[in-house]
Structure 1
Amino acid sequence: GDFPEGLPQKNGATHTGMFLNWCIHNDLISEELKEDAAEEIEKLKRREITGAEFILDSCDGKFSSYDLNELGNLFAKDYYADDTDFGNKYSSFADDYVNIFDAKAEESDYEYETFYHIEDTYDNYDLMKQVIDHRYEEWKEYINS
């Protein structure tokens, strides 16, 4: 809806791609996705493509509950979705995403024009991965409490 003019379409999938990439590496994806995109999943694991490229090429640009297994969907419903009990208590994916990249930009005396201007790179994924790893551990404690 608020996607800026002049940016590549891939930028619209950067944040979602980072989340799905993390889910793939943590075996939270559905059997259907594993079967339908086996070759692309291997390319992603070898870092030959990014999560955004995976979503655009293998998921028709869409990320849905069909892409995740039961555990993946439970985590996504609490963390990736906005305004959840877990997100309000800890943080949501979108808040973490904006906060980590705003902090990174600030260190370089830079400011992202929008959420969609964050670069689709593995350096950025590695930063976000650490945050998601941490939230996933918090989430496991949260659902077991």
Structure 2
Amino acid sequence: MLTISVNGKEIKFDGDPNTPLLWFVRDELGLTGTKYGCGVGLCGACTVHLDGTAVRGCQTAVSEAAGKKVTTIEGLSADGNHPVQQAWRDLNVPQCGFCQAGQMMQAASLLAKNRAPTDAEIVDEMTGNICRCGCYERIHAAVRAAAGGV
């Protein structure tokens, strides 16, 4: 049996340790903010934090999360007011919204490591997260705005 901390809550898991973390948080825990996109770790819709670092939930086995802290979009802020979430609202970033949880989790991971990223660093860090609506200018503007509030 594995023990995983998800959004600050200790969870026991005795299923297949190779189960993707994405399916564990969505199907077992009902945390559906993390999305299934491509299934091969290329789009970023499934981005969660593992001990504070952005990882692709579809490519991370539950066994890799054992004994570690997993944070989903639901756990980023208890009241939904993490600087990234606030910036996303203030700048009205999403169009369809499907990728936005992954975008915000990637941005929050970046800002936790680098409180004042350059535009080039933002582009580099966010490149692995795809927005099919093409909201990249608003996404990057929100990351810059959130950097001012982190």
TM-score by length of 1: 0.31
Structure with the higher fraction of residues in helix conformation? 1
Structure with the higher fraction of residues in strand conformation? 2
TM-score by length of 2: 0.31
